[in-house]
Amino acid sequence: MKSLLGAIAFGMVLVASQALAEPPNIVFVVSDDQRADTIQSLGNPRIQTPTLDALVRRGTSFTRAVATYPICHVSRAEMLTGCPAREAYPKYPNPPINSKLQTLPRAFAEAGYVVCYTGKWHTDGTPQRHGYTTTSGLYSSGGGKGQRLTHQTDHAGRLVTGYTGWKFKTASGTAEPDKGIGLTSATDRHIADGAIRFLERQERGKPFLLHINFTSPHDPRIWPEGERHYRAADMKLPDNFAPKHPFDHGNIDGRDEKLLPRPLQQADVQAELACYYAMITEMDRQLGRVIQTLADTGHMSNTIIIFTSDQGLALGSHGLLGKQNLYEHTVTVPLIIAGPGMPENQRSSAQCRLYDLFPTLCELAALPIPSTVQGKSLLPLLKDNIKELHPLIIAHFTDTQTMVRENRFKLIHYWKQNRSQLFDLHTDPQELSDLSESPAHRDLFTRLWASLPKH
């Protein structure tokens, strides 16, 4: 691991001092359901994330990045189109993606990039249909329905309910059942292998965009091979842990909320957290292999790396387990940008959105931003010493919840329950004190309510 971190550090120091003489390569990495508070160097001493820690030191971390629609396929559609969910999906919130919208891979492919998709594919059609020129290590649904899962149960012996029928596939679409049916303890290793195969084939000087989508730490949570660094008894419960949520937030009976017995027990959540952390550490290890390959193949000096997740997760916070909510533990995601010319070891508390990444990547590659893109490039935050890009952030989940967040205060409205929550994120970052009925905050509530998109 020391040699790997040395390669990362050396490569990043080298490129930080160089001006790009040719179009940069892009490695765009997305994990799945990863809370923003699961990176050691960003404040969590209980988790081991050496690869991400190295990226943090050699790049800029956005500590208030938001998934504006916290469910896997919708969040990914927002990133692919640079648009919010209602524009990305004509049949909102269901696929297919709006065919009138330019996609991130197609924009890069039309500019001469080789554009490769690796890992979890969770939108309509195939990657090639949306502009990717190739795949390597593709993992998607279809072709395995009704077949026995490689892992029938999760780390706690519970029957698996997710990823049934998912398989790895070749670029031509041929299934690779030898790599498992459903999620396995080696899924992220196979995804990293696909990324590595792609990198080893690429010529120097031919720009590429490699989009890597790991499955960790999404459930079913299965112990990675050889990973036993975490014990349930050592896990710290979230500060806003609760046995149950005080009301139906709009998904109280959803699949995610049924993964553990109700009301939530501390020991069950600790055991889930231990495996969750182990999966993140394994994903971090596999990302390290990819970055080592960048160094070994000579691509590091001209490659920008972006790391984020499609959304966070509750995992006991507020009495919830899933991601179908608009609390900070779910909408806030890790986001790191590192590479040539990027500020090193910096933190930005500016609000931003996942669908801002499309225009950001275009500007980093000196490509025009397509007219259909509604996101805003983060480059001014990286290069121009601008402190704020979005005074307000709007987020949704189905027709049940809407959020508006400004720098300090945040309003969530639950449409079917006709109730609201108002939080002061400066004094109450765990969102435990609801101010929506406070007379002292009536004017603030009214102002935020006016900014809330109405049904």
- Asked whether residue 20 carries a pLDDT value surpassing 70, the answer given is no
Band of pLDDT at residue 253, cut at 50, 70 and 90: very high
Q: How many CB atoms lie within 10 A of CB 14?
A: 13
Residue 454's pLDDT is 78
* Res 21 pLDDT > 70: no
Residue 264 reports pLDDT greater than 80: yes
Q: What sign does the dihedral 433-437-438-440 (CA atoms) show? A: positive
Mean local confidence (pLDDT), 11-20? 43
Position 384 scores a pLDDT of 79
Helix (H) or strand (E) holding 105, with range, is helix 104-110
Task: Answer yes or no: is pLDDT of 147 > 90.
Answer: no
Q: Contact 88/71 with Cβ under 8 angstroms?
A: no
Q: Is the pTM of this model over 0.85?
A: yes
pLDDT computed for residue 8 by the predictor: 52
CA distance 288 to 5: 8
Check residue 198 and give its pLDDT. Answer: 98
Worst-scoring range by mean pLDDT, 36-40, 152-156, 224-228, 392-396?
224-228
> With contact defined as beta carbons under 8 Å apart, do 167 and 181 qualify?
yes
Q: Which has the closest alpha carbon to 160: 114, 218, 112?
A: 218
pLDDT score of 70 more than 60: yes
Question: Which residue, among 63, 41, 99, 120, has the nearest Cα to 310 in the 3D structure?
Answer: 120
Mean pLDDT of 231-240: 96
- pLDDT reading at 16 higher than 60: no
**Domain annotation for the chain: domains and CATH numbers:** 2-391 (3.40.720.10), 399-455 (no CATH)
**pLDDT confidence bin for 226, thresholds 50/70/90:** confident
The angle subtended at Cα 335 by Cα 290 and Cα 432, nearest 5°, is: 135
Q: Would you give the end-to-end CA distance of the chain in angstroms?
A: 52
Residues 6+ apart with CB under 8 A from 364: 24, 26, 304, 379
| pLDDT score, position 144 | 58
Does the structure show a pLDDT above 90 at 59?
A: yes
Whose CA is closest to 324, among 33, 87, 2? Answer: 33
User: What does the pLDDT read at residue 172?
Assistant: 87
**Which residue type, as a one-letter code, is found at position 194?**
G
- Which SS3 state, helix, strand or coil, does residue 277 take? helix
Q: Which of 110, 118, 119, 112 is nearest to 134 (CA)?
A: 118
Confidence of residue 150 (pLDDT cuts 50, 70, 90): very high
CA 169 to chain centre: 22
Q: State the residue for tokens 């940069």.
A: 24
